[in-house]
Amino acid sequence: MRTRPTLTWTPAGEPAPRTTDLSEVVRVLGEGGVVVLSGAGLSTESGIPDYRGAEGSLRRHTPMTYQEFAGSEAGRRRYWARSHVGWRTIARARPNAGHHAVAALHANGHLSGIITQNVDGLHQAAGAPDVVELHGSLDRVVCLGCRGTSAREVLDRRLREANPSFTAEVTRINPDGDVELPDEVVREFRLVPCVGCGGVLKPDVVFFGENVPRPRVEECYRLVDEANAVLVLGSSLTVMSGLRFVRHAAKSGKPVLIVNQGHTRGDAHAAVRVDLPLGQALTAVTAQLGCAA
């Protein structure tokens, strides 16, 4: 069963108190055993916009849903034409100070795990190990027929061969790795099938309206259960795929700390809400803990 995608939410009641004081974050991290849950806000300083911030991509485009991709060749053509251009920008993105700080916190024993809602691979590029990619990765492609996986670079090469005269100018990249393209450009784009079975190829990411694989969800619950606290970085927690872990931690009596610019759907569960840019905040935290990135 696939859920209906949740794209937005409206805060209810009084806004949660916010602070710029990082002392509680530093204290909890100093005790160790913290699991990080990161979102698109962590990658904005690498040039990848988030969905729902002041410049969020949802203000100008509707992301692809699983239902549209699986049920419509026109939908797949639109996605792959736009993503073929946008993925190159994602692939060139480099980790920012926030990613490096998270890797340093892990290397110095302050973190017990990292869960990310991002699909850009920047945590791993910064040196963080054993990252659970909740929503998958744009670096991989999966066949909806045989379920075989392959590297995105291979598909990129095949798409370039199938569309030798295809050119488009990148103006703004979206968090899901696509860009805006004119309809006439999309219509001329040629798709390629799975080389193994001829099936439909899909990026190995969880689209809106698609469920996260159950084993991955269970691994995240295990990390939260074994952690002393949960630290949310750069996520509005709008979608249940991430919010459920915050709710689970709070129900279990574990402190939830949120560092994010703007309100989040998990604010009611937070022991502390820090409103600062992620790079600035995490660089300060690592410096105070003596493990500067």
Residue 124 sits in which domain range? Answer: 18-48+95-135+212-293
Closest of 125, 122, 121, 136 to residue 215, by C-alpha = 136
Q: Dihedral through CA 110, CA 40, CA 54, CA 224, nearest 10?
A: -50
Assigned domain for 41 exists: yes
Are residues 40 and 66 located together in one domain of the fold?
no
Spatial separation of the C-alpha atoms in residues 139 and 132, rounded to whole Å = 14
Q: What is the pLDDT, as a whole number, of residue 184?
A: 83
Domain boundary among 184, 205, 226: 205
pLDDT at 212: 95
117 is in an annotated binding site: yes
What does the pLDDT look like over 25-37, one tens digit per residue? Answer: 999 999 999 999 9
Using CA atoms, how far apart are residues 44 and 19, in angstroms rounded to an integer? Answer: 21
Element spanning 111, H or E: strand 111-116
Give the pLDDT of residue 107: 96
Q: What is the pLDDT of residue 255?
A: 97
- Which residue numbers in the chain have pLDDT < 50? 1-5, 9, 52-60
**What is the domain count for the chain?**
2
Question: Domain check: are 219 and 278 in the same one?
Answer: yes
CA distance 151 to 78: 21
Find the catalytic residue in 135, 248, 263, 269: 135
pLDDT value of residue 175: 65
CA distance 284 to 293: 10
Say if 6 falls within a structural domain.
no
In a domain, 28, yes or no: yes
Residue owning tokens 């480099």: 94
Beta bridge partners of 56: none
Distances (CA, A) of 231 to 111, 112, 246: 9, 11, 9
Q: What is the pTM of this model?
A: 0.89
41 and 173 in a single domain? The answer is no
Residue whose structure tokens are 């604010």: 267
| Residue where a domain terminates, one of 160, 177, 205 | 205
Task: Report the pLDDT value the prediction gives residue 260, as an integer from 0 to 100.
Answer: 96
For the stretch 147-154, contacts whose Cβ atoms lie closer than 8 Å and that sit 24 or more positions apart, written own/partner, are 148/194, 148/196, 148/197, 149/204, 150/195, 152/87, 152/91, 152/203
Task: Confirm or deny that 219 is annotated as ligand binding.
Answer: no
Based on the fold, state whether residues 284 and 229 are members of the same structural domain.
Answer: yes
Residue 224 lies in a domain: yes
CA distance 258 to 229: 11
Residue 88's pLDDT is 79
Check whether residue 66 and residue 100 sit in a common domain. Answer: no
Are residue 143 and residue 198 in the same domain, yes or no?
yes
Q: Tell me if 2 is assigned to some domain.
A: no
For residue 72, the domain's CATH number is 3.30.1600
Other C-beta atoms lying within 10 Å of the C-beta of residue 252: 11
Q: Would you say 198 is a known binding-site residue? A: no
Whether residue 130 is contained in a domain is answered as: yes
Is 263 among the catalytic positions?
no
Domain match, 176 and 200 both: yes
